[in-house]
Amino acid sequence: MLTLHRAALVLPDPADPTAPSHADGAVLVRGELIEAVGPYAELAAAHPAARVRDWGDALLTPGLRNPDGHRLLERAYHPDPREGVGEEPVPDGLVGEADGTRCGASARRGLQRMLGFGVTAVAGPFERVSVRTAVARSGLTALPGPASGPVDAGAVGVLDPLAVLPLAAAVHGRLAVGGRADFAVFAPGADGPLAGGCRATVLGGRLVFRRR
């Protein structure tokens, strides 16, 4: 099935200041791959049978890379809502934890929260088998992390890369014909997408997060 994702502004490669953008643009997705990127009117006319997801005044960009994956998934603990202790990750809550089931469940919850910020790639290293499995099954791209070294006790990391990085530094890859359809849709701000403003995340052509 063909799907057209329409947005007020499509930024195929925010990391390249010379790359073209598309006002009232669209990304055409077939299966898990991008088939075309360009003006919505042109793509809609060429593919009248495509399903349309219209994201209104939003910005559509490549998905984000979370550089804090090791701290967020290997060390921090993401509580189950049924535990009644809130949603924020607990610093070093998995340090010394040997229960792989608990670590894997925490990682799955952490990954789900990342999707809500437009993250489509996460940096390791992931040393726990249960965490590696959770990342692989999530569909997010696992990236090599920095060389092992001292880790600040109590440091959690940031779930939303846009809270600490400009868009050009936060995105992973670009929207290219033939590439995997990994992208995110954001509420617009004065200078780009709003931190915490992710409206939808698409992984391999699948809509995996949509803000209600």
- List pLDDT tens digits, range 5-33: 999 999 999 999 899 999 999 999 999 99
* pLDDT at residue 83 is higher than 70: yes
Total structural domains within the chain: 2
Whether residues 72 and 159 fall in one domain: yes
Residue 182 pairs in a beta bridge with: none
Residue 168 lies in a domain: no
Whether residues 81 and 144 fall in one domain: yes
- List pLDDT tens digits, range 124-164: 999 999 999 999 999 999 998 765 555 565 567 899 999 99
Mean pLDDT of 196-203: 97
Whether residues 158 and 92 fall in one domain: yes
Residue 52 pairs in a beta bridge with: 4
Whether residues 68 and 10 fall in one domain: no
Whether residues 130 and 87 fall in one domain: yes
Domain that holds residue 198: 2-63+173-210
Whether residues 150 and 179 fall in one domain: no
Nearest CA-CA partner of 164 in 125, 127, 119: 119
Report CA 17 to chain centroid distance, whole Å: 21
